[in-house]
Structure 1
Amino acid sequence: MFPLSCTDMAALIVVLLGCYLAHFYQKQRSLVNIPPGPKPWPVVGNFGGYFIPPVLWRRFGRTLDTQKSALVLLTEQAELYGPVYSLFVGSQLVVVLTGFEAVKEALSLQPEVFSDRPDIPSISILTKRKGIVFAPYGPVWKQQRKFCHTILRSFGLGKLSFEPCILKGLDTVKSELQRYNEESDGAAVNLAPLISNAVSNVICSMTLGQSFHHQDRQFCTLLDLMDRGLEICVNSPAVLINIFPLFYYLPFGVFKELRLVERDITVFLKMIIANHKETLDRQKPRDLVDMYLIQVLAQEDAGEKDSSFTDDYLFYIVGDLFIAGTDTTTNSILWILLYMMLFPDIQDKVAAEIDEVVGRHRNPSMADKGSLPFTEATIMEVQRLTVVVPLGIPHMASKTTVFRGYTIPQGTVILPNLWSVHRDPSVWENPENFDPTRFLDDDGKLLRKECFIPFGIGRRVCMGEQLAKMELFLTITSLLQAFKFRLPEGMPPPPLHGRFGLTLSPCPFTVCVSSRR
């Protein structure tokens, strides 16, 4: 073959672009009666308008508020087009559901249609559409989820018997904060590494049968890589992979960084699985990995060649549980502590309730939860305002259907805007205000609200919801029982729009900690 000249290369690009545009407009004409929405641009769709990561706006010499670039603007579009409207990412149709009623009607009342997962290139390349979180809805997913949920429950998921494991990790956090406070004379500290390690060790104990020291360099690096990988996937030029999948293989910038993140996490998790295989005792399973390997061997012994239980599938399940069990709960705890510093009167009221019910000489317990309504209401109010997975995990229509009078074609990506659900003025009075009493009745008892769905809704609801609730309650009560948290003097508070990756994490902040005992 002869090398292409610059002229030939330019001609080839023009031809390919022409073919793409022809396909784009042909697909546009084939979509009839879809929900209304802003007119898409050629090639990039609405991705070239407001639906674009802030980092790309900055590259183009423009500025846009980080939060407004996605969450506020997506919600504002519903005021123009209604609670069900359309966007395009490239040629991919995306339908955004805004408000509780639209989200509930789709995900809870029509679960067989709206429980699937889309083939999003930046996610599919990393997960191979396996595991639990991003795997397609169907018999394999149901089988794997049921197995993992059963095994995790046998190891304590959502049970009071798992409370000591959570408290053990919190003892380390408290002792480290106490030591740092004494040695640093009250200097500010970054809570994120300690909290992330404690939270991650909870899921690691059930899944991997081990915990890691908070100063374990390899494990700390892994947690940083996980956080960085989630941010790259959404809030960097790497989102262009979803329009041009081959960009994943570009040898520079965040594209290269994403591949390195994937490589390092893969090496760590596969090393742990390999160690489990070498030390496996079928009679004495230690954790989920052991139980899964035993299932794989049992089906191999039975000659079941078409089983979905494989070493490869196990790797993606471990990755899902490790990331999902760490990132969302860690961010929720950090958000709650940040709000406690920004609203010291609320922090004092929570601490006073803990003192009255628990005292200061024993650890809080899940048995105390019913007697700490203001504390629980405060946790819920921060979850309402921050929504750590604000757009949920994208769903997909598994077949063409009619929804609220509109045609939703098979393969349409469905974005449930949970952020809008929790800021909807029709169901929340003064939704922008931080007010824990909205979750309390006139007698001071806790109110349960159907429209409060921080863990999602429908058949894809978070599998670890009960564990996460335990971790949030025990962590916040234990820390506010032992310490008072305040912002460093002279330092401005971090902006509350946070950092939007697949999850919404608070902007980095430090805190001054003083003992209450």
Structure 2
Amino acid sequence: MSWLCRPRNLPPGPWSVPILGSLPYLAFAMYRSPMEPHRLFDTTARKYGNVFSLNAFGYTVVQRCHSPAVVVLNTYEAIKEAFQNPLLCDRPRNILAEELNVTPGVASASGESWKQQRRYSLSTLRGFGVGKRTFEEQISHETKSLLDKLRKREKQPFDPQYLIGNAVSNVICSVVFGQRYEYTDEDFKELLAINNQQAEIIGAGGLVLVIPFMKYLRPELCRLFQENVKRFVQLVNKIIDSHRTHHDPKKPRDLIDVFLTEIKENQKENLQSHINNQSLTTTIVHLFGAGTETTTTTLRWALLYMMAYPDVQSQVQQEIDNKVGRERLPQLSDIPNLPFIRATLLEIQRIATILPSGVVHCAAETTVVNGYTIPKGAFLVSNLWSVHHNPKIWKEPSQFNPARFLDPSGYVIQRPELIPFSIGRRNCLGENLAKMELSLFFTQMMHQFTFMAPNDSSELSFEGISSITYQPKPFEVAVTPRD
């Protein structure tokens, strides 16, 4: 019978049943001991090995032994080997988006389409200074706006998610849309609201988008996802249409203008290209979402840990005061001289691991990883949380300890096993921008304010919420100006 078929040399894994595949095993394991997916993967790896496979909810039945099993990678070595393999750089088909005729953008495309879109997106972002110190002015404009709004919240406990999210999002908006938005702008508020809701719907690793069975298991969730996509695309196309009206190829204002020029040139030359009107829309959606969600979530974790570890916060502030002074705000040029702050940010990225299950890859062809056969079409999940919390790599990994990234002389230790932006050919497109933002937002907030838990707040919790990122539970903060 077809459901008994299993590709030879597939990584070992837990039991499965016809139609439902490994879903009953996962449900039973979660029932016995409720935990987030990345922790469940870590537990499963202890029994089946650091590379194991799951039956993707009955795919074997549908595709007659050509099973795109879910292969979970739980070590740095396995993830590095897999994600440097050019045959393992595809993305699974986004079934829900395909039903809406949404063309894959830079984050969801595969093969030549992905290569062309990534290459062009990177060159365009670099052309506007992203990742370079010349881009510091745009980030600093938003940090100062955030600092002003934080100052107005003195002695008024509040949830920082809204303010930080708006400030961070405006950085990517300045590159993509050529403008920043007031926090009260209705379209901007709607874009952020949809982005936040989509992150919750997609969940860890994004498997809900690529497993057909989810349409029947969670129809209301899939329907809401598609409604959000339609509205998000409408809002983005409204901005693109406005750009077309005032488009001057000789004076590009932002990424949209550059792409529009490229699209017109391709049409004029009658060239077939993956840089087209449809992929532009989706790429903007991806850049807006990724450029907002990950950095915002990391900064929220940073504030939470500073509140919980006031001695670390004090040491951070002391280093800023000693190396920068109180007369001006820290700049990017100061960061190399702030080793404890750099170590603190690295430790926050490690212990929080905001993308614990990474982003799903797909095998373009059958290949081998860690001695196992990875069949064509297999989904690959990188358990970054397992890497960042491996006691063989990190002493007492559950403890928050920035000093683990400092050598005895006080210099920063760059650990290759720390991979918050993933690794390999498909690592995060906005890694350099994110590093710049984290450095500037964090150091300037620490320079200007002390962050504390409100007096009447409950005990701080480090339990997270699994959405597309691993977010801290909502919390309130009280700010005290240092000047």
Shorter-chain TM-score tier: over 0.9
Task: Answer whether contact 2:207 2:360 (CA < 8 A) is retained.
Answer: no
1:371 is matched with which residue: 337, 340, 364? 337
- Asked whether 1:270 is paired with 2:244, we answer no
User: Cα distance, 1:123 vs. partner?
Assistant: 6.0
Distance 1:315 1:240 in 2: 19
1:178 is matched with which residue: 144, 147, 151? 151
Q: What residue is the counterpart of 1:32 in the other structure?
A: 8
User: Cα distance, 1:360 vs. partner?
Assistant: 1.7
User: Cα distance, 1:273 vs. partner?
Assistant: 0.7
Amino acid in the other structure paired with 2:473:
C
Q: What residue is the counterpart of 1:4 in the other structure?
A: none
CA-to-aligned-CA distance 1:137-183 (integer Å, 9 cap, x gap)? x22211111111111111111010111111111111111111221xx
Q: What residue is the counterpart of 2:349 in the other structure?
A: 383
Amino acid in the other structure paired with 2:95:
P
Amino acid in the other structure paired with 1:217:
E
Q: What residue is the counterpart of 2:74 in the other structure?
A: 98
1:116 is matched with which residue: 81, 84, 90? 90
CA-to-aligned-CA distance 1:207-252 (integer Å, 9 cap, x gap)? 11011111223312321211111211227x99498243654995xx
Taking structure 1 as reference, are residues 126 and 418 closer, same or farther at Cα in structure 2, changes over 3 Å only? farther
Amino acid in the other structure paired with 2:310:
P
Q: What residue is the counterpart of 1:434 in the other structure?
A: 400
Q: Which runs of no fewer than 5 residues in structure 2 stay unpaired?
A: 60-68
User: Does the residue aligned with 2:52 lie in a helix, a strand or coil?
Assistant: strand
Taking structure 1 as reference, are residues 395 and 355 closer, same or farther at Cα in structure 2, changes over 3 Å only? same
Distance 1:354 1:274 in 2: 45
Task: Choose 1 or 2 for highest CA Rg.
Answer: 1
2:54 is matched with which residue: 65, 69, 87? 87
Counterpart mapping for 1:452-463 below 5 A: 452-463=418-429
Q: What residue is the counterpart of 2:109 in the other structure?
A: 135
Task: Answer whether contact 2:447 2:482 (CA < 8 A) is retained.
Answer: yes
2:17 is matched with which residue: 41, 50, 60? 41
- Asked whether 1:224 is paired with 2:193, we answer yes
Task: Answer whether contact 1:484 1:513 (CA < 8 A) is retained.
Answer: yes
Runs (4+) of structure 1 moved beyond 6 Å?
A: none
User: Does the residue aligned with 1:414 lie in a helix, a strand or coil?
Assistant: strand
Task: Answer whether contact 1:50 1:69 (CA < 8 A) is retained.
Answer: no
Count, aligned residues: 474
- Asked whether 1:300 is paired with 2:274, we answer no
User: Does the residue aligned with 2:55 lie in a helix, a strand or coil?
Assistant: strand
Distance 1:409 1:386 in 2: 32
Counterpart mapping for 1:134-173 below 5 A: 134-136=108-110, 138-173=111-146
RMSD: 2.3
Task: Answer whether contact 2:307 2:453 (CA < 8 A) is retained.
Answer: yes
Q: Which runs of no fewer than 5 residues in structure 1 stay unpaired?
A: 1-24
Amino acid in the other structure paired with 1:48:
P
User: Does the residue aligned with 2:77 lie in a helix, a strand or coil?
Assistant: helix
User: Does the residue aligned with 2:248 lie in a helix, a strand or coil?
Assistant: coil
Q: What residue is the counterpart of 2:62 in the other structure?
A: none
Q: What residue is the counterpart of 2:44 in the other structure?
A: 77
36-45 or 481-490: bigger deviation? 36-45
Q: What residue is the counterpart of 2:482 in the other structure?
A: 516
Q: What residue is the counterpart of 2:26 in the other structure?
A: 50
Identity of aligned residues (%): 37
Distance 1:389 1:126 in 2: 27
User: Cα distance, 1:126 vs. partner?
Assistant: 6.8
CA-to-aligned-CA distance 1:340-362 (integer Å, 9 cap, x gap)? 11111101110110111111221
Distance 1:126 1:437 in 2: 49
Amino acid in the other structure paired with 2:15:
K
User: Does the residue aligned with 2:280 lie in a helix, a strand or coil?
Assistant: helix
Q: What residue is the counterpart of 2:323 in the other structure?
A: 357
Distance 1:421 1:156 in 2: 32
Amino acid in the other structure paired with 2:392:
S
TM-score (norm 2): 0.93
Taking structure 1 as reference, are residues 352 and 322 closer, same or farther at Cα in structure 2, changes over 3 Å only? same
Amino acid in the other structure paired with 1:159:
K
Amino acid in the other structure paired with 2:86:
E
Distance 2:399 2:72 in 1: 25
Taking structure 1 as reference, are residues 249 and 372 closer, same or farther at Cα in structure 2, changes over 3 Å only? closer
TM-score (norm 1): 0.87
478-487 or 82-91: bigger deviation? 82-91
Task: Answer whether contact 1:52 1:69 (CA < 8 A) is retained.
Answer: no
User: Does the residue aligned with 1:452 lie in a helix, a strand or coil?
Assistant: coil
Task: Answer whether contact 2:96 2:226 (CA < 8 A) is retained.
Answer: no
Distance 1:361 1:473 in 2: 19
CA-to-aligned-CA distance 1:250-303 (integer Å, 9 cap, x gap)? 5xx434432332222111111001111111111211111000000010111112
Taking structure 1 as reference, are residues 499 and 208 closer, same or farther at Cα in structure 2, changes over 3 Å only? same
Distance 2:152 2:43 in 1: 47
Amino acid in the other structure paired with 1:276:
H
